Amino acid sequence: MITCKVCNNQEYQGVLFCGECGSQVAFTSDKMVNTLVYPNQIRGLEVDFSQTIPKKLLENSTFILYSTEREEVIEIPEQNEFTIGRFVEGQVITPDVDLNNYEAYDMGISRLHATIRINTEKNTISVVDLGSANGSSVNGYEIPANSEVPLNHGDVLSLGKFNMKVILPKDMK
């Protein structure tokens, strides 16, 4: 067993992310490797991680979608509702977030795969699958087409075979 350095949760050897707080857990020769830790991943701990993450992410008031395979933040627009999919030349309606840089076609992402809705009044975020060919799921549970499903901090949103981690600011948890 290994122990998460952020929340002290016990995880099995070989796990990349903590199941409790979502922090990356990486060890080399029993020594911790510097990892990217977001302040909103800390539950009840009074630790200042402001110097360990990019300032752009600290200033961003919306949530973050994080590609678990490439270990990078996916650029999303500053709006309350946007579509995710893959752009195809000649397409009449294009997605707001194009995932072609993430091998979208091979991962089974439809041209207009899903919509993300941010309700600032209720402090909630949800996803709607737009009837995609390969479906969407949250934490392994399939989303019925055209159904709105809430997203929570630490959820894994899958579009086809493409996985993204949902990271929410403290006020939306």
| CATH code of residue 152 | 2.60.200.20
Confidence band for 172, pLDDT divided at 50, 70 and 90: low
Residue that the structure tokens 């979502």 belong to: 22
40 and 68 share a domain? no
Q: Are residues 95 and 21 in the same domain?
A: no
Whether 37 and 67 map to the same domain: the answer is: no
78 and 38 part of one domain: no
* 166 and 99, same domain (yes or no): yes
Domain boundary among 59, 86, 101: 59
Q: Quick one: 49 and 126 in the same domain?
A: no
For 61-83, the pLDDT digits (tens) are 467 888 888 888 898 998 899 99
Same domain, 152 and 68: yes
In the chain, the N- to C-terminal Cα span, in Å, equals 28
- pTM listed for this prediction: 0.64
pLDDT (0 to 100) of residue 109: 96
> Percent of the chain at pLDDT above 90?
38
| Tokens linked to 128 | 């709607």
Query: Who wins on pLDDT, 172 or 17?
Result: 17
Considering 59, 74, 97, which residue would you say is the last residue of a domain?
Answer: 59
> Hey, how many other C-beta atoms are within 10 angstroms of the C-beta on 133?
10
Higher pLDDT, 86 or 32: 86
Q: State the Cα–Cα distance between residues 7 and 49, nearest whole angstrom.
A: 13
What range does the domain containing 141 cover?
Answer: 63-172
**What's the total number of domains in the chain?**
2
Same domain, 118 and 144: yes
- And the tokens for 108? 């089974």
**Which one of 38, 59, 80 terminates a domain?**
59
Q: Tell me: do 98 and 160 sit in the same domain.
A: yes
**Other Cβ atoms within 10 Å of 6 Cβ, number:** 22
Indicate whether 39 and 77 sit together in one domain.
no
Report whether pLDDT(91) > 70: yes
Pairing assessment for the beta strands 97-98 and 72-74 based on DSSP bridges: unpaired
- If asked whether residues 40 and 89 sit together in one domain, one would say no
Same-domain status, 47 and 106: no
